[in-house]
Amino acid sequence: MEDWKTKANEQLRHDIIADNPLLFKMAHRPMSETCMCWGIDCHDGWLQPIADACYKLEGLNAITYKLFRVRVQAAQIKEKFGTLHFYTDVVCDPGPIVRGYEKFMQWIFDKIGMLKFNTQWKVDKEAYTETRETELTKEQYEEEVKRNKNSTWCAFVEKDGKYFMRHAVYHSAVGHSVAKNHKILYSLWKRRHVYINLLRRLTRFNVSKV
């Protein structure tokens, strides 16, 4: 019986996402883009109420998306402290002109990316070490002395009844890559996301990849 229930719940989780494509357009995107990559992250007892809500939202999407290209999009579904959290966004997807522009620009930058860029690293700021001084209480001072007794990055000073810890903070070098050849194409390619999403920004579309 338990195996049957487990399989049924797994199938329901799959069906909720598969049957509501407009609501769950971000379901298979990576973690860098959406929290929906974790799926429906809650106890099985919540699945039926979630399914009912999703089917109703998808019905609303079917009307608004056809007329205005506006839809409700699931951002995250999770259980927290015994309660259900269902986060959504209202998304306006771009029309065929914007999508055609993005596909064309992506094709151009794919071609540019096939070039062999010989690059070199240009240092904008050299690495350096900064010394910081922190005032401590006597208890904190004694604890830090014990903790960092073998450290060469810390020094401890007692002066006029006050306790200080001096520690070094290392700042790494800052720079950027510069192309030896095809410099203009390389600079465009490094900023390709700005140019690809240009029409979305100008028309103020919600950034939702379709």
What local confidence, expressed as pLDDT, does residue 82 receive?
A: 85
CA distance 44 to 27: 18
Mean pLDDT along residues 150-158: 83
Largest CA distance in the chain: 76
Over the stretch 69-111, which tens digit does the pLDDT of each residue have? 889 999 999 998 889 999 998 887 777 888 889 899 999 999 9
Residues 178, 104, 30, 58: is their CA dihedral positive or negative?
positive
pTM, to two decimals = 0.50
CA distance 34 to 208: 10
Helices (H) and strands (E) in the chain, counts: 7, 8
CA terminus-to-terminus distance, the chain: 41
Structure tokens at 176: 């950027």
Contact present, 209 and 111 (Cβ < 8 Å): no
Contact present, 154 and 148 (Cβ < 8 Å): yes
Asked if residue 207 has pLDDT above 50, the reply is: no
What local confidence, expressed as pLDDT, does residue 81 receive?
A: 86
Tell me the Cα Rg of the chain: 27
Q: Which residue has the higher pLDDT, 134 or 200?
A: 134
Strand order in the sheet with 40-41: 40-41, 70-80, 83-92
